[in-house]
Structure 1
Amino acid sequence: MATRRNQSTETQLKNILVPIIQAIGRSGKLIYIIIFGVLLYLGYQYFTKEKDSSTIEYNSALIQKQLRNVSKLVVTEGTYSQVMTYKDQKKYLMDMISFEKKALMVVNAEVTVSYDLSKIKYDINETTKTISITNIPEAEMKINPDIQFYSIDESTFNPFGTADYNKINKKVKAEIAKKMEKSKLKTNAENRLISELSKILILTNTMGWTLQYNGEVIKSQTALKGKLKT
């Protein structure tokens, strides 16, 4: 009885497996083609992904290098000369008596307008291929005056002292700063700043990245200049 049961089981297995094996034999070439296609697709995805990743890393490295090159002190120098007069009066007895002092001086000053671009704040987004500049430092003006006195008139009751020379120094610097704000020196300094920042703009445009300043896209040097003026 056991032998008959075993033979019956073997017969059932053959009836199930033989059609499957025959089907595999007939469609073997198709299976190989499908397997080959899947492997080819996976290989393409793998190598393409590696290439894109490498390109992004390479572009990001180039941009960071350019930002390091720009991160320097941009200095524009100029000179200023002017003849100035300083006057001071002290009055007594309800202004009936006054004692005046005055000085005639020639001022020669060296003026520098600088931008410390190492203080630029920015963010690099490799996913969106965007450089966002969030802060550009303000211009720093330094004035080194050389004051030569040619005529000093003073009174015993109103003599020149340290306080007067300090006032003169402050007045000279304030006067020069006022003139420099409207001079070509300030304009030239701004143009140098824009020239340095344009290097970043050119690089991003070339590489298909986007440059933003305070959330707005910058597409040209003119637009960059306009944003810095506002």
Structure 2
Amino acid sequence: MIKNILIGAAVIVAAVLLFKFCDFKKSDEDAISYNTNLIQQQIVNVGKLVVTEGHFSEVITYKNQQKYLLDMVSFEKKALIVVNADVTVAYDLHQMKYDIDEKNKIITIVSIPKEEIKISPDIQFYDVEQSKLNPFTGDDYNKINKQVKANLAKKIAKSTLKSNAQNRLISELSKILILTNTMGWKLQYEGKVIETEKDLGQQVKL
């Protein structure tokens, strides 16, 4: 009789322990699933178009000369060109690729899209001088456009526009870093564990 009672008690204890273990495991799985959903939602929130705008101006003098009769006669055309350009540097974070490792609690940023630079110049001609034997043609306008964009590209490279755009990008990505740190997850990029915003900045600017 006592033996049966002891066996019954042991079975009940084992059942309770098994139930608690299963309940604990379920709760742990629910927590991981909840955390994963939070991270995915944050990535969705970050996944937008980050745009930094700038404005540049320049003045160009364009000259071209056509010579005839063994260079004894020449006809020149020239113009003063004023350029005002709006420039945008954008990161489309909808295109960012990432991987979520639920088991090891690691978020890996697989790739960040390259910046997209858009130059929209407004070109105005002043003091235009030309002749019938050397008029302005479509070829001249193409050369001027090419020169304008080349000059603007150099100005953009020397300006803070691209670095400002990168800082905005890092600021957006830091939102993921803050969330992963808060939940005890890890963030990785380019094979390195990202622990601070400074780490993120160094990796993004490689």
TM-score range, shorter-chain basis?
Answer: over 0.9
Q: How far apart are the structure 1 equivalents of 2:155 and 2:135?
A: 30
Q: How far apart are the structure 2 equivalents of 1:207 and 1:66?
A: 13
TM-score (norm: length of structure 1) = 0.83
Which structure 1 segments of 5+ residues have no match? 1-24
Letter matched to residue 162 of structure 2: K
Which protein has the larger Cα radius of gyration, Structure 1 or Structure 2?
Answer: 1
The partner residue of 1:63 within 36, 39, 60 is 39
Q: How far apart are the structure 1 equivalents of 2:69 and 2:27?
A: 90
The partner residue of 2:22 within 22, 43, 46 is 46
Larger RCO: 1 or 2 (CA < 8 Å, sep 6+): 2
What residue is the counterpart of 2:92 in the other structure? 116
Tell me whether 1:172 sits opposite 2:153 in the alignment. Answer: no
TM-score (norm: length of structure 2) = 0.92
Using the TM superposition, give the Cα deviation of residue 107 of structure 1 relative to its aligned residue in structure 2, in angstroms: 0.8
Letter matched to residue 146 of structure 1: D
What residue is the counterpart of 1:224 in the other structure? 200
Q: How far apart are the structure 1 equivalents of 2:189 and 2:44?
A: 18
**Equivalent residues, number:** 206
- Runs of 4+ aligned residues of structure 1 deviating over 4 Å after TM superposition are 91-98
SS at match of 1:27: helix
Q: How far apart are the structure 1 equivalents of 2:175 and 2:43?
A: 9
Q: How far apart are the structure 2 equivalents of 1:38 and 1:94?
A: 110
The partner residue of 1:83 within 59, 64, 81 is 59
Which structure 2 segments of 5+ residues have no match? none
What residue is the counterpart of 1:145 in the other structure? 121
What residue is the counterpart of 2:107 in the other structure? 131
- Is the alpha carbon distance of 1:169 and 1:49 closer, same or farther for their aligned partners in structure 2, counting shifts above 3 Å? same
Q: How far apart are the structure 1 equivalents of 2:177 and 2:70?
A: 67
